[in-house]
Amino acid sequence: MFLWKLSFLFEAEFFYGIMTGMKLEKKIFEIVFHARGGQGAKTAAELLAQAALAEGKFVQAFPDFGPERTGAPMKTFVRVSAEPILTHEPVVDPDMVVILDETLLGTIEVTKNLDENEAMIVNTTSDREAVRQKTGYAGNVYPIDATGLSLEIVGEPRPNTAILGKMVKISEIVKLENLVDVFREKYTGKIGSEKTEKNIRAIEEAYDSL
C-alpha cells in the first residue's frame, strides 16, 4: 500500500508496504538538513525520500514547523527505515546532518546530538579542519563545494541536488542509480532534458568526489 499525505504546512510523509534489504545499522536512519529558505532543502529531502521509496523502504520527509521564508534559517527532516515509522516528531538525534549554507555554521547549533561516529556534510569551500573549528564537532566531517559544482556544471547556484550525491555516497541509504532515475523522471518534463542531465552529472560528480 502506498500513501502520500500532503498538508497545508507542506509536510509530506511517504509509506510503502513492500520491504527490501537495507544496509543500515539502525532501524531508522535520521537526517536533518540545515539551510536557508529558498535553497531547496525541502526538494532535496523529497528526492531522497522518493529514491528510498523506489527501493521499498519506509520514509518520512518534512520541513520544520512553520512557513518557509526566503533567506531565513530552516530545517528539513528525513527518516528512512526497513520497518514502519511510528513517530511523527521532528528529528532530534540525527545520524547525519547536511548543511546547505555555510553561513549557518556557528550561528545555530547544527551539531546538536550528533555523535562523533555520525556524519556532517557541509556545502563549503573550507577544508575539514576549518569546519571543525567553526562547529567544534570532532566527528566525521565531509566538506564539498556543492554550490561551485552546480555553477560549473549546471550554470546555477543550486547546491541541493549536487549535495545529494555526497549524501548517498557516505550513507548508502539509497542507490545512486535510483536517485538518478527519480530525478530524471521528476524533472525532465519541468526543466527539460538538457538541464536535467546537467543536474544528474552534478549529483554523480559529487558522489565520486573525495
Question: What does the pLDDT read at residue 73?
Answer: 92
Burial (Cβ within 10 Å: 0-12, 13-18, ≥19) of residue 136: exposed
- pLDDT tens string 90-109: 999 999 999 999 999 988 89
How much is the pTM?
Answer: 0.86
Instruction: Tell me what pLDDT residue 25 has.
Output: 52
pLDDT of residue 64: 87
* pLDDT the model gives residue 26: 64
Where is average pLDDT lowest: 41-50, 61-70, 115-124, 159-168? 61-70
What is the reported pLDDT for 194? 98
Per-residue pLDDT, averaged over 132-157, amounts to 96
Instruction: Check whether 3 has a pLDDT greater than 60.
Output: no
For residues 133-144, give the mean pLDDT: 96
Q: Is the dihedral of CA 203, 152, 100, 42 positive or negative?
A: negative
The pLDDT tens digits of the residues spanning 162-189 come to 999 999 999 999 999 999 999 999 999 9
Q: How many domains does the chain have?
A: 1
Our measurement of the distance from residue 193's CA atom to the centroid of its chain's CA atoms, rounded to an integer in Å, reads 23
**The domain that contains 189 carries what CATH number?**
3.40.920.10
Residue-number span of the structural domain to which 112 is assigned = 2-208
144 pLDDT band, cuts 50/70/90, is very high
Q: Flag whether pLDDT at 208 surpasses 50.
A: yes
Q: Residue 29 and residue 166: Cα distance in Å, rounded?
A: 16
